[in-house]
Every structure is written in structure tokens, then in C-alpha cells.
Amino acid sequence: MATRNGLALCQGWSAASTSTALSTTVHKHFHSSVPTTQSKEDDNSPRLTHTDPETGKASMVSVTDKAPTHRTALAVSSIWLPGVAFDLLKRNGHKKGDVLTVAQIAGIQAAKQTSNLIPLCHPLLLTHVSVDLKLVEDSEVPPVGCNGLRGGRVDIESRVACMGNTGVEMEALTGATVAALTVFDMCKAVGKDMVIGEVKVMEKTGGKSGTYKHNQQGSERLGRGI
């Protein structure tokens, strides 16, 4: 009987040990699978503001509590044209009319319509929009993709300002881009080898982040093809 009791006791101890080990294993596994609380560094880490980090759903960022400030932005673009198209542009000889004036108006109009073109942009009451286009004789090797042709380029500057709760960088970029696209559209009949160059924000002011100026060091010259 003692032997049986000893065996039973041994079996009971073995079962208890197994149960304890299993409990410990499950306990450890349970804790390792639960996400830890985010640190302050995680909370302040860069993230996309237009998407919910948990669901991934897109939304227009709330700027309700942001104080209105004077905001400006300068964006640039360029378009390179082969010789025939560029010569006609200089002489204002294109059949569709005054290319530079039409492109200027198109850029201004586009800047005002940015929120209709880009889904999550805020509609803004712009207080100033200007788009300037400048012809540049280009004696350098044309951008990649122009088949070694000679020609010139149009440099484009788009300036936008407002008194608002969010910046106007997108409006400036849209103005510069659409102006370049308009030049392309009006000149494509005589110069399909055109190349639109890099589009970028050169400067912005106002808002929480303050003033930004593009660092030219290491970047390609304006007009170099993308």
C-alpha cells in the first residue's frame, strides 16, 4: 500500500510539475505576444498624417484647432523643348497662340483648383497666386531622353500665399506643374521630344514648422529631366 501510495504520490507530483511547467510556458508565451505600450519616442516618430495608423483609412487632416498664419510657398518646374519648338516659342509663332500667356493663366487657375484635383488637400482662400515663365537658351547637352537634340527650356516659378490654417506648398506645386503641362500641350505638334524637368518646393514660410528653403547642394540644375 505504501508503494502504491508512493507511486500515486509520485504520479501526483509529476502531474503537478507538468502542469506548473505548462502554466509557466503559457504564461511566458502570453506575455511575449501582447504589444507593449508605445514609448514617447514612438509617439513622436515620423508618420503619414493622412492615414489612420491603426486602420490605414485615409482622411483629410483636421486643422480646426490650428491658428491661422500668413503662409507662402515657391515651387519651380521647367520644360525642355527641341530647337524647332523652342524657336517658334521665342517668336510666338505657334498656331495655338501665345503659349507662355496661356500657360501662365493655366498655372494660376490650377493653383486655385488644387483641392479639387488632390483629394485630401484642404480648400484654401488664397490671397495671392503668380506664375512666371522665362525662356532660357540651353547650349548644354539636353536632358536624357531628348535624343541628343539641341534646344532650350522654359523655367517656371509659382508663388502662392494665404492667411490660413495649413500650408500652400501643394498649390504652388500644382501651379508650376500645370503650367509646364500646358506648354507641352501647346507645343507637342512640333516637338514631341519635350521633357518636363524636376518639380520641387524651393521655399515655404509660416505655420508651426516655420521657414523651409530647399538645399541646392547636390541637386541637379533646374530643367534637368527626371
Catalytic (active-site) positions: 185
Contact 129, 175 (CB under 8 A): yes
Within 13 Å and on the Cβ side, how many CA atoms surround 33? 6
Which one, of 146, 134, 139, lies nearest residue 191 by Cα? 146
Q: Is the dihedral of CA 36, 37, 40, 43 positive or negative?
A: positive
Contact 127, 161 (CB under 8 A): yes
94 Rama class: left (phi>0) / alpha (psi -120 to 50) / beta: beta
Torsion (CA) 104, 107, 112, 117 in degrees, nearest 10:
160
Contact 225, 144 (CB under 8 A): yes
Q: Is the dihedral of CA 12, 14, 15, 16 positive or negative?
A: positive
- CA dist 153 and 78 (Å) reads 7
Question: Can you give the length of the chain in residues?
Answer: 226
- CA dist 207 and 90 (Å) reads 40
